[in-house]
Amino acid sequence: MMKNKYSILLALLALIVVCSSCNREDPLLKEAREFALKQDEVGVYEKDKTKPIFVYDEDKHQLAANPMQFMCRIQTDDQAKMLQMTLDKQPTLSATCKLSVKSKGVPSIGSQCQVEVLKIDGDKVWLLDHESYMSFIFYYPQQ
């Protein structure tokens, strides 16, 4: 009888330890999320860089979007630099979407990734790639 009580107690203790470790968020992911949410301009950001990879500047770039196709684009007036981002579906808070990226004259970003929708505010959507910790602010004017 005592053996059974100890076995049950030990099993419960093991379950508590396992469950408590499941609730811990990856500290690097948490840091990347916090970093992403501090950014404000449409473009691409890398957590460990002091400068963004490529962001919209009203004086230097054109900004366009096709909300029906879940696409936005930043380009210089001479089209020497271009960044086009397309989502596979309408972004909704906390959803996971596939992001396709095309670029020209911009440091390598990769062509596709899975992103989490962190925030939607006005015409902007904050996205985070959990693998690279790269973040994106997507221009998405609602009609």
Instruction: Look at the domain 27-139 and name its fold.
Output: Lipocalin (2.40.128)
Give percent above pLDDT 90 in the chain: 70
Comparing CA positions, the residue from 54, 62, 58, 65 lying closest to residue 105 is 54
* Rounded distance between C-alpha atoms, residue 140 and residue 143, angstroms: 9
The pLDDT-based confidence of 25 (bands split at 50, 70, 90) is: confident
Range in 13-27, 39-53, 55-69, 93-107 with the lowest mean pLDDT:
13-27
**Dihedral pair phi/psi, residue 11, rounded to 5°:** -65, -40
Per-residue pLDDT band for 129 (boundaries 50, 70, 90) equals very high
With H, G, I as helix, E, B as strand and everything else as coil, classify residue 73: strand
Confidence of residue 107 (pLDDT cuts 50, 70, 90): confident
Q: For residue 105, which amino acid is it?
A: G
Q: Are 11 and 24 in contact (CB under 8 A)?
A: no
pLDDT of residue 24: 76
Q: Does residue 139 register a pLDDT over 80? A: yes
Sign, CA dihedral 96-120-47-22, equals negative
Residue ranges per structural domain of the chain: 27-139
